[in-house]
Structure 1
């Protein structure tokens, strides 16, 4: 089994081929390893951690909603969130007619803010409106969910980066450590062992609510 961790840049689709006329790039511009596919997806205008694997069982396990696992995102939003807005995100909001599951949401300030290079192209900037960084952790992966959730509470997302994925096995999350945008690495032997255990497990793990270090 081949499994890679990629820091997907902005403007890249989570697939290896493009439809004719697409304005985006694809994974083959960055990864030349054969027979690996994305386990899950990030929209082209989102960045960050993407797992690529040649193992269909692992791909299915990581994307099957019955085995929800925490995925954490840094979201740069327009405005400064209030305590009430953060609590709304934690409790869940209605998007596309359905209530989202409970989430974790916190405002990142000072040294807790992610240290990222400027995005190309840059985010929309309006001098009269401040921006803030949030960390949101979800156990579901509905279409453009983070963007829809922040918009629902009046905090439009300007930049979105997935920073870690929790395998729900009490070990540390998989994260972006050491990976610049467009860079990838093979999983370590210890990470591969954990993924093997994930595939062989027949139980549906209960999502953990405990805190994690940032990715």
Structure 2
């Protein structure tokens, strides 16, 4: 499980999911404390108690979305090349599912909208709590694979950036710009496989 998910109680997670639903359906204007409280069946006082101000609530929403990405773990028993391949493909597939979801697209559009007005708070939070957290956790597996002799690189962080780029390509950008050819679910697994195969050709030791 992603560590980000562990900071929220079941009730708080339900509230964040309600907020995400409002964001997707109505955009930024729909994301008011009154609307979230009504949708989640809680009081505004509870929202402020749990999450603080609006920026803190948005940060929590981003953390909730990032928690949906399954961080790849090294197999506890038999850490083989095949196990590494499967772990990376599962991660890449899940990352594509989350990044291409309506929720992630809505969050990125909101961040872009705010940045155009000179407010970079949400964008920085997306980078730190979303991409940054996922990357930091995934590099743990890459270092373990290097220690096991399966991968070779100068920097695990740089290798992760290559993996991330190979997985996402320009897919999210196209969706953000309104490309109607959103990848179908059956294609996401294939895209993940291709990306991981390219990554391993670059960094695998043999």
- When normalised by structure 2's length, the TM-score is 0.26
Report 1 or 2 for greater relative contact order, CA contacts < 8 Å, sequence distance ≥ 6: 1
Whichever structure has more strand as a proportion of its residues is: 1
